[in-house]
């Protein structure tokens, strides 16, 4: 095959291939429910669809309880305020901005812990070094939906009396040892943003088996109101609306099939790329049922011949738009850069991963033929590495 970058034009794909596409329900099933909204006139405030979706997700995931919220970020923020956390929270720099922002928005100091070089999740061997008298919680992320070492985190948290709130935003449907990943830690947040495997346009959920915590979340998401005349705490408007829940109810049945399709493509990528030098894949620990939210490659320039950004340029010329999740590290944002645990030399693994990671297109309706072509391009770019570098460095 001939690369567009070398020929100067003519991408292999006429229309852009993005990193993800949402699962859409049948329009009829969605419209049926919208008709009911028009009949009842109930648009929001824990209407029938949101109550139904909370029950359905609780059962679907096999968790104790689920509270829906307007998005995952507000959900996470309310989790911290529901537990009245303060002081310092240990988290990962290799994540989406929301994880760290909710800590700072609660007037808490984020303390960054380096990540594991195989799974890209928080490095459990380093957490205890970061615990001080001010630490109140650990906020790990299940990176790309792949579970953290939940057992080790549990032991550390118990030993030091810390809360564990998981950012499980990309981990909907993921299981560890046959149980939903939402059953670990004190609470977990799932995101239902349009880019996530299960979406409600925007939306999110907190799941927990702590009844008092869940009760507080439900009060906090509604301004702290408990009755017509009583506002008991510093709440916010975190409510999900009925049209979002109608969409979610019509979509949930499709998720198992979506995961199966993604699994096929994920394995295709892995098999198609594994023999190339310098490409590394996220390691999946034992006993995990994945949801295949993302497929990432980590590129070693010395071995592959091109670095992450150079390969990205090659792919873009072909109308393929991979994404650098997560780059830059949160610890490099101007607002967090000055913190004591933000220096790149104490976060060597995260600093390396963020520079070399790339997520390739992966979604259920992506055709296997397209994946084959993407694989072929990545092979061709390796073969043509010297020519490509010549053109890029001109
Ligand atoms: C998507 C995502 C979020 C944000 O969720 P929203 O629903 O968009 O607010 C937070 N953390 C991680 C790791 C995510 O992937």
Per residue in 316-352, pLDDT (tens digit) is: 999 999 999 999 999 999 999 999 999 999 999 999 9
Residue 141 belongs to domain with CATH number: 3.40.640.10
For residue 108, the SS3 value is: coil
197 within ligand 1 shell (Cβ under 6 A): no
Write down the pLDDT at residue 140: 98
Ligand 1 nearest-atom number relative to CA 95:
13
Whether 201 and 95 share a structural domain: yes
Q: 212, 236, 253 — which closes off a domain?
A: 253
Low-confidence ranges of the chain (pLDDT < 50): none
Nearest CA to ligand 1 atom 7: 72
What is the atom index within ligand 1 of the atom nearest the CA of 196? 1
Q: Which of 210, 225, 253 is the last residue of a domain?
A: 253
Q: Domain ends where: 253, 286, 310?
A: 253
For residue range 220-263, list pLDDT tens digits in order: 999 999 999 999 999 999 999 999 999 999 999 999 999 999 99
The parent domain of residue 238 ranges over 27-253
Tokens 């310098």 correspond to: 278
Q: Residues 346, 378: one domain? A: yes
The response to whether residue 193 sits with its C-beta less than 6 Å from ligand 1 reads yes
What tokens does 18 get? 């993005």
User: DSSP per residue over 250-311, as a string?
Assistant: HHGGGHHHHHHHHHHHHHHHHHHHTTSTTEE-----TTEE-----EEEEE-HHHHSS-HHHH
Which atom of ligand 1 is nearest the CA belonging to 143?
Answer: 13
* Ligand 1 contacts CB of residue 73 (under 6 A): yes
Please give the angle made by the CA atoms of 189, 192 and 195, to the nearest 5 degrees: 120
CATH number at residue 337: 3.90.1150.10
- Indicate which residue's Cα is closest to atom 6 of ligand 1: 72
Q: SS3 of 220, please? A: helix
Q: Element (H or E) spanning 61, and its range?
A: helix 48-61
Tally of structural domains, the chain? 2
pLDDT at res. 5: 87
Residues 263 and 185 in one domain: no
- Cα 197 from chain centre: 10
Report helix, strand and coil shares of the chain as percent, to nearest 5: 45, 15, 40
d(CA 190, CA 217): 14
In a shared domain, residues 147 and 245: yes
Do 207 and 235 have their domain in common? yes
Q: Are 141 and 121 in contact (CB under 8 A)?
A: yes
Q: What is the pTM of this model?
A: 0.97
């Amino acid at each position: 095959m001939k690369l567009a970058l070398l020929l100067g034009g003519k991408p292999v794909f006429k229309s852009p291939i993005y990193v993800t596409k949402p699962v859409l329900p049948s329009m009829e099933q969605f419209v049926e429910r919208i008709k009911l909204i028009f009949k009842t006139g109930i648009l929001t405030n824990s209407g029938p669809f949101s109550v139904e979706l909370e029950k359905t997700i609780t059962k679907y995931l096999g968790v104790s309880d689920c509270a829906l919220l307007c998005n995952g970020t507000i959900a996470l923020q309310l989790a911290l305020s529901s537990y009245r956390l303060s002081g310092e929270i240990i988290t990962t720099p290799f994540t989406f901005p929301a994880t760290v922002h909710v800590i700072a928005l609660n007037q808490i100091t984020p303390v960054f812990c380096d990540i594991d070089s195989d799974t890209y999740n928080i490095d459990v061997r380093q957490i205890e070094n970061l615990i001080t008298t001010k630490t109140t919680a650990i906020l790990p992320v299940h990176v790309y939906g792949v579970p953290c070492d939940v057992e080790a985190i549990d032991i550390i948290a118990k030993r030091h009396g810390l809360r564990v709130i998981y950012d499980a935003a990309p981990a909907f449907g993921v299981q560890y040892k046959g149980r939903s990943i939402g059953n670990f830690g004190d609470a977990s947040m799932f995101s239902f943003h349009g880019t996530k495997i299960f979406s409600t346009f925007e939306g999110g959920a907190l799941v927990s088996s702590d009844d008092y915590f869940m009760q507080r979340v439900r009060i906090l998401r509604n301004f702290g109101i408990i009755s017509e005349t009583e506002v008991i705490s510093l709440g916010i408007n975190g409510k999900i609306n009925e049209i979002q829940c109608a969409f979610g109810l019509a979509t949930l049945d499709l998720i198992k099939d979506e995961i199966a399709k993604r699994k096929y493509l994920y394995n295709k990528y892995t098999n198609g790329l594994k023999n190339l030098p310098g490409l590394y894949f996220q390691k999946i620990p034992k006993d995990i049922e994945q949801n295949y939210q993302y497929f990432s490659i980590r590129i070693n320039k010395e071995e592959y011949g091109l670095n992450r950004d150079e390969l990205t340029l090659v792919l873009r010329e072909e109308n393929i738009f991979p994404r650098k999740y997560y780059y830059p590290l949160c610890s490099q944002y101007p607002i967090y850069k000055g913190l004591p645990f933000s220096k790149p030399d104490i976060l060597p693994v995260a600093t390396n991963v963020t520079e070399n990671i790339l997520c390739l297109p992966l979604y259920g309706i992506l055709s296997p033929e397209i994946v084959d072509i993407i694989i072929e391009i990545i092979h061709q770019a390796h073969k043509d590495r010297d020519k490509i570098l010549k053109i890029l460095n001109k």
